[in-house]
């Protein structure tokens, strides 16, 4: 096991002040995205991130500290170059994500690459001037067919113009997710940059989703960035001889987790073009019916079966959390409404003993997580909370 220092970003996100939660989410995403290229950050970067999250330093000061660290560093360790790239790029991504500005244009896309890889790549922000292929594990060594370099700018201009003209108004969740997956996978397949293409696409996508008003769960990019990349590969790979067609479903499931709070099991083995029997069906952990047959079930009637794996996943022994889950159910309620339904009068105690533990353990979430003090703030169950709510309902029946 690695002896690397790891900051528990989840603790800041669940229990920190609003500014701490926001910054912790950015760092968690930035560091997680380095896994796309097999990179890990240093202990120094982790500690610098902590200081920024706790308000000791600004993001610009954090970036300067990281840069100076590698300029003045005399002792060299194994994988120093990789750690330097991961550290610099992570701090740059946090800087980009912290900005409230966003340029949805080809120049804006280039700018994201330049800002993310500033001080790391000599050609940061420049489109590649050569054709590429990449051997992929999920394709058993085959490659996606990427666009030829002469047409990069024209292709990006076209994709962004088509997306700009698309209206999400009145579309169902399924329609929005399908369209969004098509747009992002197409932008990625152009592969505008020789290096750092996936990380740039991810950051640009996060900014774009925020500009559309979507509530982006940073946790998905932070913990499943390698899945995100492989899902992009599968969405853009077709081999008629092998009977393999484009498979955007895996990318759609990533976005369903990201934007709808669903709970698809995002492990890379499900994406392999020739998975073993064990990994041939990707389950949604919040939907017992989709759980693979290898999962044991309880001794209920067939219409009431709830897999033990799901029960273990969502179970809690805290009676106050259980009470709050039953109160919320499938509704969206304010604190005042929650207190009225639970019959409690003392707001600080309700928050400390009911609400905070329920959120910390992942059963309850904010309707507007990016604006904790939103005037119309409501609380609702997460996918995990809904799963437990459904289990309790069936037990009551």
Average pLDDT, the chain: 87
Task: Write out the two tokens for 183.
Answer: 């747009």
| Confidence class for position 114, pLDDT limits 50, 70, 90 | very high
**Confidence (pLDDT) at 373:** 83
pLDDT tops 90 at residue 128: yes
All CATH 1.10.3290.10 domain ranges of the chain, comma separated, are: 102-284
Could you tell me what percent of the chain has a pLDDT over 90? Answer: 63
Q: What is the mean pLDDT of residues 182-201?
A: 97
Task: Write out the two tokens for 390.
Answer: 């459904």
* CA proximity to 16, closest of 61, 47, 54: 54
pLDDT per residue over 310-359, tens digit each? 444 457 878 889 999 999 998 999 999 999 998 888 888 889 889 998 98
pLDDT tops 50 at residue 131: yes
Helix, strand, coil percentages (3-state) for the chain, rounded to 5, are: 60, 5, 40
pLDDT tops 50 at residue 4: no
Neighbours of 78 (CB within 10 A): 7
**Confidence (pLDDT) at 3:** 40
**Confidence (pLDDT) at 397:** 66
**Confidence (pLDDT) at 385:** 84
Q: Could you give the residue ranges of the DSSP H alpha helices within 261-382?
A: 308-314, 319-328, 335-342, 347-350, 356-360
Residue 164 or residue 5, greater confidence: 164
pLDDT per residue over 53-72, tens digit each? 999 999 999 999 999 999 99
Phi/psi of residue 41, each to 5°? -80, 165
Geometric angle at alpha carbon 348, from 14 and 382, rounded to 5°:
35
All CATH 1.10.10.10 domain ranges of the chain, comma separated, are: 307-396
CA–CA distance from 199 to each of 86, 216, 265, 298 (Å)?
Answer: 11, 16, 22, 43
pLDDT per residue over 149-166, tens digit each? 999 999 999 999 999 999
Query: What CATH class does 102-284 carry?
Result: mainly alpha
d(CA 43, CA 66) in angstroms, rounded, equals: 11
pTM of the shown model? 0.71
Beta bridge partners of 264: 284
Could you tell me what percent of the chain has a pLDDT over 70? Answer: 91
pLDDT tops 80 at residue 395: no
| CATH architecture of the domain formed by 307-396 | Orthogonal Bundle (1.10)
Per DSSP, the three-state class of 225 is helix
């Amino acid at each position: 096991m690695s002896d690397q220092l790891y900051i528990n970003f989840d603790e800041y996100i669940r229990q920190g002040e609003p500014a701490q939660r926001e910054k912790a989410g950015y760092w968690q995403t930035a560091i997680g995205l380095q896994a796309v290229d097999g990179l890990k950050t240093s202990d120094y970067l982790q500690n610098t991130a902590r200081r920024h999250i706790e308000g000791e330093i600004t993001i610009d000061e954090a970036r300067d500290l990281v840069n100076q660290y590698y300029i003045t560093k005399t002792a060299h360790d194994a994988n120093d170059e990789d750690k330097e790239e991961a550290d610099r790029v992570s701090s740059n991504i946090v800087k980009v994500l912290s900005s409230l500005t966003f340029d949805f244009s080809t120049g804006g896309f280039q700018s994201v690459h330049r800002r993310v890889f500033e001080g790391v790549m000599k050609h940061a922000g420049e489109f590649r001037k050569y054709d590429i292929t990449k051997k992929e594990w999920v394709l058993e060594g085959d490659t996606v067919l990427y666009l030829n370099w002469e047409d990069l700018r024209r292709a990006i201009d076209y994709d962004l113009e088509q997306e700009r003209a698309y209206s999400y108004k009145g579309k169902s969740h399924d329609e929005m997710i399908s369209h969004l997956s098509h747009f992002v996978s197409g932008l990625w397949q152009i592969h505008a940059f020789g290096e750092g293409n996936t990380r740039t696409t991810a950051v640009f996508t996060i900014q774009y989703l925020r500009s559309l008003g979507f509530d982006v769960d940073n946790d998905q990019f932070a913990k499943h960035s390698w899945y995100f990349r492989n899902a992009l590969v599968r969405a853009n790979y077709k081999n008629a001889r092998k009977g393999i067609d484009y498979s955007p479903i895996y990318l759609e499931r990533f976005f369903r987790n990201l934007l709808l709070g669903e709970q698809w099991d995002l492990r890379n083995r499900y994406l392999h073009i020739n998975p073993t029997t064990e990994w041939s069906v990707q389950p949604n952990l919040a939907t017992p019916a989709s759980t693979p047959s290898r999962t044991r079930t309880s001794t209920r009637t067939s219409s009431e079966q709830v897999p033990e794996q799901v029960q273990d996943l969502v179970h809690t022994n805290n009676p106050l959390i259980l009470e709050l889950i039953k109160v919320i159910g499938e509704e969206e309620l304010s604190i005042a409404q929650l207190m009225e339904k639970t019959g409690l009068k003392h707001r600080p105690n309700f928050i400390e003993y009911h609400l905070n533990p329920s959120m910390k353990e992942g059963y309850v979430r904010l309707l507007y997580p990016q604006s904790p003090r939103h005037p119309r703030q409501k609380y609702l169950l997460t996918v995990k909370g809904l799963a437990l709510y459904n289990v309790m309902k069936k037990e009551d029946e």
